[in-house]
């Protein structure tokens, strides 16, 4: 009977670990709310568009688009949002491909479409 009680006490104490302690993000990592992350991505896309209109070279624009793609990974709310984010990312990837090929006007059109797609994510929240 003593062994049973001791094993139950140990099992209960192990099971009382806080969910919040397990769910914390990595130390030093900045986490964003979905709307903040969407605004961050659209801001980075606008910087890329501004770079195109100001006459920046293709490599600089490609790097700016890569920054927007990296920032889009911060958008995480649910599966529905993630599916829509993947579709919007496809437009960013297409813009990046155009920029790599020095087709900056096509890249700009894809970036404008990507902004619309990312802004549309807010309606799904």
Asked if residues 74 and 58 have their Cβ atoms less than 8 Å apart, the reply is no
Does a structural domain hold residue 101?
Answer: yes
pLDDT at 31: 78
- Residue 33 has a pLDDT of 87
18 assigned to some structural domain: no
Please report which confidence band the pLDDT of residue 65 belongs to, taking 50, 70 and 90 as the band edges. very high
User: How many residues are listed for the chain in this entry?
Assistant: 125
Structural domains counted in the chain: 1
Confidence check: pLDDT of 118 > 50: yes
Question: In this structure, what CATH number is given to the domain that contains residue 87?
Answer: 1.20.120
Residue 22 lies in a domain: no
Decide if 25 is inside a domain. Answer: no
Task: Express each pLDDT in 31-51 by its tens digit.
Answer: 788 899 999 999 999 999 999
Has residue 73 been placed in a domain?
yes
What is the pTM for the complete model shown? 0.76
Q: State the residue range of the domain holding 102.
A: 31-124
User: pLDDT value at position 26?
Assistant: 60
How much is the pLDDT for 6? Answer: 75
Q: Is residue 68 pLDDT above 80, yes or no?
A: yes
Residue 5 falls inside a structural domain: no
Q: Is residue 9 part of a domain?
A: no
Check whether 20 has a pLDDT greater than 70.
no
CA–CA gap between residue 93 and residue 97 (Å, rounded): 6
Residue 74 lies in a domain: yes
pLDDT score of 105 more than 90: yes
Q: Which of 18-27, 59-68, 74-83, 85-94 has the lowest mean pLDDT?
A: 18-27
Residues above pLDDT 70, as percent of the chain? 82
């Amino acid at each position: 009977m003593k062994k049973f009680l001791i094993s139950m006490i140990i099992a209960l104490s192990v099971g009382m670990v806080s969910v919040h302690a397990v769910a914390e993000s990595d130390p030093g990592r900045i986490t964003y709310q979905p709307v903040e992350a969407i605004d961050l991505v659209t801001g980075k896309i606008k910087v890329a568009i501004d770079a195109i209109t100001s006459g920046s070279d293709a490599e600089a624009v490609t790097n700016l688009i890569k920054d927007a793609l990296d920032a889009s990974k911060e958008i995480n709310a649910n599966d529905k949002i993630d599916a829509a984010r993947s579709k919007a990312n496809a437009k960013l990837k297409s813009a990046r491909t155009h920029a790599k090929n020095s087709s900056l006007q096509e890249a700009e059109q894809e970036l404008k479409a990507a902004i619309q797609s990312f802004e549309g994510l807010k309606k799904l929240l």
